[in-house]
Amino acid sequence: MARLEGCVVSFSVRRRRGIFPRVEFGLDYWLGGRRIRFVDPLSTHGDGDAGGHSPGSSELEGLRSSGKRCSKKTSARIDWTQASRWLAECHSEHDECASSGTSPGTLPANFRVIDVERRCIVDTPPPDRNFVALSYVWGQSPDPTKLHATKSNMQRLLVDGSLSAAKMPRTVEDAMEACRRLGEPYLWVDRFCIVQDDADDKGEQIAAMGAVYSLAKLVLLATDGHSDSGIAGVSHDRPQKQLSYQIAGITFTNAPVGWREIINGSSAWSTRGWTYQEAILPTRKLYLTESQAFFECRRSVLSEDGSEEMAIYSPLGLRNQPWDPAVDVLYGHVSRYRARKLTNLSDIYNAIDGVASALYGRFGSLWAGLPRQDFDRALLWSQNGLDGLAHRNEHGKTYMYPSWSWSSI
């Protein structure tokens, strides 16, 4: 790129070269503003706080500043060393992340997980509830040749090596590999840990899904594709969408898609009804996206490129303040949840039940979507802000709901 005398970036770069002779930084947009920041490469590429604020940084003069810090270039594969460091630091140092706090119930008696090393299902709870859960999208037409748990094959799936890689959905196989890279031995996946053709088991397990995602040590969120797509950065390379330019010997790199764009985006994962509570309830989450990985806990939001500042963040506002009536918080979630899609509209209550249970504790059961504990107050809902969900599935079947419930509109 040619150096332009009238370019404020080139001017500032040349002016600063005596102070920062060898530095890498990025240009990015956020909230309508712009920020360019010089950062010592050791602070973004070394073992410091990835995603934190570099004490050696200095903003360029003459540019508006209302955004995030610069980014480093990410690789085609996930940086598992960095991801492991995020998880270990949170687990050992974050007191606010040490317990679930708002756990919606307990794990079912017949709780199952996948042993990723033995490649089989284990039907006894792992020690200290030390397991990882997967949030993903099945897809409209999952491959029927791929394995899933049924009454006829469950006993076989308990045998070592029964989960053959060739018969596994690619996304589940990649999630197992992610667990191995993170040093986590157990993975919960609905497809294998719920007997899909057993109505009794399915009912019990679905009722406990809020507890599963709340109590998991970590939740992997596969935000792109479906069950047979695989996870970018695990089994196949992530598309490299970052651009790099050299100006006066200094590298400019644009930041990849940010964490806020992922959770508020239009991917299949971010528009599905079930994934709403799967993203709200966990204590720790690792977003596995096509651009980079993001780690979120109750204290921090960190990313591979270092572009997200560390900040205290209440995950989507679940932990309401004492002065906020729980029913009002619940309806705030219902409004956002209703804008999402459900393949089976009979799941309309099940897919939000974990949020209600987290807010109301053991009294968190719903009656047609209304919390039992605050039933009288919950009847005072209004349609304003609660529209957006069409009660009709792809087969044209209409479901009937009580007229006094928000689910009826």
SS (H, E, C) 88-123: HHHHHHCHHHCCCCCCCCCCCCCCCEEECCCCEEEC
The reported pLDDT for the residue numbered 332 is: 85
Hey, what are 46's tokens?
A: 């070394």
The reported pLDDT for the residue numbered 248 is: 80
The reported pLDDT for the residue numbered 23 is: 40
Neighbour order of strands in the sheet with 58-59: 58-59, 33-38, 24-30, 250-254, 244-247
Arithmetic mean of pLDDT, 294-304? 87
Report the chain's mean pLDDT, rounded to a whole number: 76
Angle at 178 between CA 310 and CA 204, to 5 degrees: 95
Arithmetic mean of pLDDT, 348-366? 80
- Interacting residues of 400 by C-beta distance below 8 A, sequence separation 6+: none
The reported pLDDT for the residue numbered 88 is: 94
The reported pLDDT for the residue numbered 15 is: 46
The reported pLDDT for the residue numbered 22 is: 41
Residue type, 306: G
Terminal CA-to-CA distance of the chain, rounded, Å?
56
Q: Per mean pLDDT, which range of 109-118, 123-132, 300-309, 393-402 is the poorest?
A: 393-402
The DSSP 8-state label assigned to residue 246 in this structure reads: E
- Interacting residues of 45 by C-beta distance below 8 A, sequence separation 6+: 72
Hey, what are 95's tokens?
A: 């007191």
Residue written as tokens 């992610």?
Answer: 178
The reported pLDDT for the residue numbered 67 is: 41
The reported pLDDT for the residue numbered 147 is: 92
Cβ neighbours around 247 below 10 Å, total: 16
Q: Which of 99, 95, 138 is nearest to 282 (CA)?
A: 99
Strands 24-30 vs 250-254: parallel, antiparallel or unpaired: parallel
| Contact present, 214 and 103 (Cβ < 8 Å) | yes
The C-alpha atoms of residue 390 and residue 307 are separated, in whole angstroms, by: 37
Q: Which residue has the higher pLDDT, 241 or 276?
A: 276
The reported pLDDT for the residue numbered 119 is: 97
The reported pLDDT for the residue numbered 25 is: 43
Q: Is the pLDDT of residue 280 over 70?
A: yes
The reported pLDDT for the residue numbered 323 is: 52
- 3-class SS at 179? helix
Residue written as tokens 């604020």?
Answer: 53
Hey, what are 104's tokens?
A: 């919606």
The C-alpha atoms of residue 125 and residue 90 are separated, in whole angstroms, by: 23
Q: Would you list the domain boundaries of the chain? A: 8-74+242-255, 75-241+256-314, 320-409
Hey, what are 265's tokens?
A: 């985006």
pLDDT band at 386 (very low <50, low <70, confident <90, very high): low
Q: Is the pLDDT of residue 369 over 90?
A: no
The C-alpha atoms of residue 149 and residue 151 are separated, in whole angstroms, by: 7
The C-alpha atoms of residue 113 and residue 124 are separated, in whole angstroms, by: 8
Residue written as tokens 């792809």?
Answer: 394
Angle at 291 between CA 209 and CA 253, to 5 degrees: 150
Chain mean position to CA 401: 31
- φ and ψ of 159, to 5 deg: -90, 135
pLDDT of 118-160, one tens digit each? 999 999 877 777 999 999 998 776 677 889 999 999 999 999 9
Arithmetic mean of pLDDT, 399-403? 78
The reported pLDDT for the residue numbered 250 is: 79
Arithmetic mean of pLDDT, 349-354? 89
pLDDT band at 104 (very low <50, low <70, confident <90, very high): low
Strands 120-122 vs 366-367: parallel, antiparallel or unpaired: unpaired
Query: How many helices (H) does the chain have, and how many strands (E)?
Result: 14, 15
Q: Is the pLDDT of residue 223 over 50?
A: yes
Q: Which of 285, 274, 299 is nearest to 354 (CA)?
A: 274
- 3-class SS at 283? coil
Hey, what are 352's tokens?
A: 């939000």
| Contact present, 266 and 257 (Cβ < 8 Å) | no
The reported pLDDT for the residue numbered 254 is: 66
Q: What is the DSSP string of 4-51?
A: -TT-HHHHHHHHHTTT-SS-EEEEEEETTEEEEEE--HHHHHSSS-TT
SS percent in the chain: helix, strand, coil, step 5: 30, 15, 55
